[in-house]
Structure 1
Amino acid sequence: MRITNGRRFAALAVSAALAVTAQGAAHQAAHAAGIDRVGITVGSLGNPYFVATDKGISSEAGKITPDAKLTFVSSDYDLNKQFTQIDNFIASGAKIIMINAVDPVAVLPAIKRAQNAGVTVAAFDVAAQGATLTVMTDNVKAGAISCQYIVDHLPGQKGNVVIVNGPQVSSIRDRVAGCKQVLAQHPGIKLLSSDQNAQASRDGGLAVGQSLLTHFPKIDAMFAINDPTAIGLNLAAKQLHRTDFIITSVDGAPDIVAELKDKTSLVKASAAQDPSGMAATAYRLAVAAVGGKKPEQAVTLLAPKLVTTENVDSYKGWGG
């Protein structure tokens, strides 16, 4: 059916009206549920990844709970500090607590205290036992596709590989597990080390990288549990004049895009996440849960996408 300009304008007006009505309904539901305070605790506010998650939450809150006061804090991967933050959120009257858990199991007592106080707890990026809902990347798959790149680029699928670990949150453990699953399928690959904690940071990657490269004279590939670690490893390699291996990681952060485009960098691939979209989804589900509509599945997994030196030019970045 051909739509005239008049009809098209009318159709657009109806669509706009429906959108406004839906948004208004969401606002009314949020107001009725008393969502005026929300607490968000993440691993590190200094990590660009969590800057992106916080932007995702802020953006979504602006759409569906514009009157809610959002408080963002950094746990710095300290469980006791996160306990205190959660207790402070409860005391302040927060209706929703968004949590990037330091420890997926040990955090349970704090989550129970929150829920007993009538607070909806939404976990994002990593698991948190007892949370009302969880939204995170399929981190096992992220580790697997990143390490499959290593396998595919080792001559004869043979060589010495190092996994540079991090804080033992669920996402990092899952990435390492996914990587190990892939490497274990290839008897020609020797895993030299997998227990060194670089603290998921650039400085940690530099320090651990220097130690590993000094200890092991022959390394063919390194898997870093996140992009800051990978960048630190690359810096360590440059300082020690090592160019005989490749590095892969997880995140797809803005900084890693520059590394992938730099032909002198040893970083060759990163399993990209969508931190902004992940956190926004978790917030949207949390608001619905406060209104009595819990998600059908307690855990929502989002698929990662491998970004490499070969396809980086088409990568749209976080939120793209």
Structure 2
Amino acid sequence: MDYKEIYTFLNGDLKKIEDELERALQAETPVLKEASLHYLRAGGKRIRPIFVLLAAKFGDYDFEKVKPVAVSLELIHMASLIHDDVIDNADLRRGRPTIKAKWGNRIAMYTGDFILARSLELITEIEDAEFHRILADTLVDLSIGEIEQIRDKYNFDQNLRTYLRRIKRKTALLIAVSCLLGAKVARADEYCQRKLYRYGYFSGMAFQITDDILDFTSTKEKLGKPAGEDLIQGNITLPVLFALRDQSLNREIRKVNGKADPEAFQEIVERIKAAGAVEEAQKVAELYVRKALQALDDLPDNETKPLLREMVLFIGNRKF
């Protein structure tokens, strides 16, 4: 099975999700509308809506009930990335100028706030208070994860546990909750909800570790940002943590800062890759993929179970 089959299977509903995202980002203020739609039209994998839709297939699937959950979670993700770009002073996202680069920090922050507000407005269509509690708790964790990333910038002495806890909050929990709320809105049984949450959590961990690997191994054309950008910004990812075990490389990595000489920095990137740090990080990503597959094996068979399997295999092996 090819990953593209997932899009084929969900094509009609994903198209409606895309239309709903565009409707949600209409604003009376022209600059706010333009900035919001600029980001939306930059594209994206729509991973979170896909997880919502597939998880909902384990219950009583009703697209009109599932739609606000899928759209809301994607908007939360979008808002967090816009805020990230301000914090990281990033000029490119998905190969296009960031909102921060095009309109400045203030417009970017308010655009992120506007998109987050739209997401919360949409989720009010779900009257179950449990949904709002889960989403609120997730937003708290997401915020803590972002603060932890700021706190740990250029902290080359952080340990593996610190890194894993940070990516859990920044990335994995929102994907886990996408699976959980998709199942919950479709009234899947509690056993399925628990297993789908675990599957989503492990998939999310694998997703972020793979993202951190791609920062070193992919190209600017594929990623839409320069290679090694995370390290330049002071974000210490798993490949860097493994590379720091090499004492001579450790000394060179510690010299990296936001003003690093591009040529010297590229040499460090190549040395990190040559040190086997990427392969070690890949093993950790593969471990989380296996854990996700184990959680998936415990779920009842249905038409979407093979698609969820393909999703996590794509996540662990993607090149963009």
TM-score, normalised to structure 1, is 0.28
Higher strand proportion, which one?
Answer: 1
TM-score, normalised to structure 2, is 0.28
| Greater C-alpha radius of gyration | 1
